[in-house]
Amino acid sequence: MSSFKIQGGKKLKGEIIPQGAKNEALQIIAATLLTPEPVTIHRIPDIRDVNKLIELIGDLGATVEKLDSESYRFTAKEIDVAYLESEEFKTKAASLRGSIMILGPLLARYGAAKIPRPGGDKIGRRRLDTHFLGFEKLGAKFHYSAKDSFYKIDASNLQGCYIHLDEASVTGTANILMAAVLAKGKTTIYNAACEPYIQQLSKMLVRMGANINGIGSNLLTIEGVESLGGTVHTLLPDMIEVGSFIGLAAMTQSEITVKNAGVDHLGLIPDVFRRLGIKLEIKGDDIHIPEQKNYEIDTFIDGSILTVADAPWPGFTPDLLSIVLVTAIQAKGTVLIHQKMFESRLFFVDKLIDMGAQIILCDPHRATVIGLDRKQQLKGIKMSSPDIRAGVSLLIAALSADGESVISNVEQIDRGYQNIDERLKRLGADIQRLEQ
């Protein structure tokens, strides 16, 4: 387990470029299994989860060529279906959430697929019902062995149909969409997730020869085709990194420019930070955050306390709520953070309270932050990173704090943020990585 030792209280300054989007990368890399032809992907982030999926795709028999530091070519001429039964596959696929998205392509191309219960953050129950209910509607049969947490699916004849998803699951929509593009006839997916990464996946599939209508909406109509061809795809900037850097700038009273932020694809993200009182200047595709000593949280129009809550896109992403929460610590005013989707993602506030933040955890889903308005600095402590976004939030808190902090289990952060310590050091942060 590695740790970060941080000397807090330093102002940062400079430009930072967001990495390619982690959650888009996972969908797009899985989709390369849909065709025997080469698929080239640009702006792939060099992060643990993505590297693990790339390795898995190679283990399955695809040719993986690294073209440069951010570009890969995948050619899945044939897949070694027997590998899906190996112990190695079970261990590797179980270590990340994104592995679940190889199911759709494998079903579409080979009529059968297997997967262990996937990993990912431990942030509450993370069911997969939406994926399997969708596959079943398309004609698949699935079997779950509770003994070894292994799913087996057989789908020798995928037949298009009408599917009303029980919830707008992101990876569920991606999986069902990837199965449907090669199914026979027409599939309709209603209550589909429609966030930018699903739109990106849909556009890539269309370039590969798929027939998809309704991209960007929650009603997707797919006419199945016989086969798909190769393509070239460039990932969007990671919107969660963009939001994290905005929060970082505000908390540490720093002047930071987020270059090439993909501002057209950020949805409500800039507005939510503006409601915390943070000034953002959009210049072309860059976001400039000026140095601000104080920022004041808005209230609702009737004067009541602001709530920031997550919702499926085009609502506010749950993956930025921990960062909004930590950013509110030094604001003036009060905000209620309501994490509706995940039930165990707010427990990390204990550590922030130990650092001196004024937060009341109302229940597992809601926390009230009473801003300190810089009247008092947080103080550095020793802590451990429970999940990827809490980890970055603790890092932001530590960088703003007085004195030294040590954050252990930073592999959680590395899973989604490329080389974060080095990139922040270039802005002037004092972070030391301690390997153990």
Ligand X SMILES: CC(=O)N[C@H]1[C@@H](OP(=O)(O)OP(=O)(O)OC[C@H]2O[C@@H](n3ccc(=O)[nH]c3=O)[C@H](O)[C@@H]2O)O[C@H](CO)[C@@H](O)[C@@H]1O
Please say whether the beta carbons of 152 and 143 come within 8 A. Answer: yes
336-375 residues in contact with ligand X (CB under 6 A) are 341-342
Position 201 contacts ligand X (CB under 6 A): no
Residue 294 is assigned to a ligand binding site: no
The catalytic residue among 49, 121, 238, 310 is 121
| Conformational region of residue 216, where left means phi above 0, alpha means psi within -120 to 50, and beta covers everything else | left
Least separation in angstroms between CB 129 and ligand X: 9
* Cα 325 to the center of its chain, rounded Å: 17
d(CA 380, CA 382): 7
d(CA 220, CA 186): 10
366-395 residues in contact with ligand PEP (CB under 6 A) are 388-389
Task: Select from 376, 375, 413 the least CA-distant residue to 394.
Answer: 413
Residue 358 in 3-state DSSP? coil
List the single partner that 389 binds among ligand PEP, ligand X, none, CB under 5 to 8 Å by kind.
Answer: ligand PEP
- Binding pattern to ligand PEP, positions 4-43, x when CB under 6 A? -------------------x--------------------
Tell me 181's DSSP state. T
81-100 residues in contact with ligand PEP (CB under 6 A) are 97
Residue 319 is assigned to a ligand binding site: yes
122-181 residues in contact with ligand X (CB under 6 A) are 126, 167-172
Q: Is 121 a catalytic residue?
A: yes
319-358 residues in contact with ligand PEP (CB under 6 A) are 319
List the single partner that 167 binds among ligand PEP, ligand X, none, CB under 5 to 8 Å by kind.
Answer: ligand X
| Conformational region of residue 275, where left means phi above 0, alpha means psi within -120 to 50, and beta covers everything else | alpha
Residue 23 is assigned to a ligand binding site: yes
Please say whether the beta carbons of 111 and 157 come within 8 A. Answer: yes
List the single partner that 341 binds among ligand X, ligand PEP, none, CB under 5 to 8 Å by kind.
Answer: ligand X
190, burial (CB in 10 Å: exposed 0-12, middle 13-18, buried 19+): middle
Cβ-closest position to ligand PEP: 120
d(CA 164, CA 173): 11
3-state percent breakdown (helix, strand, coil) of the chain, nearest 5: 35, 25, 40
Least separation in angstroms between CB 390 and ligand PEP: 9
User: Which residue ranges make up the annotated binding site for phosphoenolpyruvate?
Assistant: 22-23
Binding residues for ligand PEP, rule: CB under 6 A, are 23, 49, 97, 120-121, 319, 388-389, 416
Binding residues for ligand X, rule: CB under 6 A, are 23, 26, 97-98, 126, 167-172, 312, 317-319, 341-342
Active site residues: 121
